[in-house]
Structure 1
C-alpha cells in the first residue's frame, strides 16, 4: 500500500512542485464523468489535494490556429506585431515542445503537456495509455486513432507497455478499495454478512483463447456491484 501511495503521488499530485508549464496536478472540472469521481474519491481517501481549476484539460487545436493567435500579439523584443514561424524542438509521443520564432529572432517556447513529478513521463502520454487500456483498443488501436485525428503518433509499444505496468498498482488498489466499499454497502443494507448475489461475465473476444474478461456481481438487496477485470 505504501508503494502504491508513493506511485499515485508521483503520477497524480505535485503538491511539492512549483506551479508552471512543466508540472501536473489532478484538478476538478464540472463536466468530468464517473471516472473522475472514482479517482477523486480515491485521492481524498489518500489525503491527496484535488485542486479546483476548470481550465486544467486538453484541447485539440490545429497548428494554423496557433499561428493565427501569435500573429495577433505583440513581440516583446521588437515591439511589433508578431511575424514568424513555429517549429517543434522536441517530441515524445503526443507531447511536444513548440518554439515560436519572430522575424527578429526572439523565441517563445511552450510545452504541450506537463511532466509528472518525480518521473520523466508526460501527462498526456500517461493519459493516452490509460485511455487506450480502458477502451480496450491497446497500443495499435491508439496508433490508428491518432492517425485518423491527424495528430502525432503516441509513444511506442515498449514505452506504452512500461507505462501500463507502472500505473497498474494504482488502479489495482483503487479497484480493491471500490469492491470493498460495495461489499460493505450491501452488507449494511441487508444487515448481515451473508449475501445473495447474481453475476455474469464476458470475454474480450470470442472463443476460449481470450486472456482478458470481466465479471459483474450484484447483490440482490443493493445496487452496489463488483467489477473484476
Structure 2
C-alpha cells in the first residue's frame, strides 16, 4: 500500500540510520507493521483516512524511532557482519567451485609482471616461446636475456589444471648450462609465484657469452634443451 504520509514518515526514520545496508530490511519491516496496524484500525470501525493517520500516531515520533533503530543497527557491527558474510560466501565458492579459485588466481596473475634487471646493460635476448604440457601442468619458457655482467635471466611460467588434485608446482626452475659439451658452473637465484598460473624468473651468474646450450628439467624424467646460439637478438640490433 502506497501512502504518501507513511512514505514521508519512513524516510524521516531512515535518515537517522547510518548503516545504509540495513535501510531496505528496516523499511520492509516497518511497512508491514504499519499495514497490519492499519488493518486492525479498519476492523475496529475507522474509515480509511482515519486509519492511515492513526497508524502514524501509534508508531510514535519519527526522530525518536530512528535514533533507537540506529543504535540497534550500529555501523560498526553492521560492517563486521557484512565483511564476515562476504568472506563466508567466498570460502563456500572456493570449496564448492574449484573454477572460482582459477578465476581469482588468474585475475591476480594479471598484475604479476617480470622484474626488469637495471644494474647491468642488456647484451642479447632470445624469444624461446617454448610450451609443453607434462601431466596436468603446462610449462612455458618465454624468454632468455643475457647481460654485460655475465648474468643470464630466464623468464617462464606454469599453468596447472585447477581441477587436478596435484600440488601446484611452485619450485624454482632447474637447469644446467653448457659451452659445447662442457657444463658451465653457475650460481644463481630465482622466484616463482605459487598459483594455478604463476610467473617465474631465474638468474644465473658468471655465464660466459659463448655458452651454447641451456637444459631445463621440467620433471625428473622430462628435460628440454634450448640452443643459445640461435635466435639471439643483440641489443644494438633491436
- Give TM-score scaled by structure 1 length: 0.21
- Give TM-score scaled by structure 2 length: 0.21
More strand by share: 2
Q: Which entry has the higher C-alpha Rg, 1 or 2?
A: 2
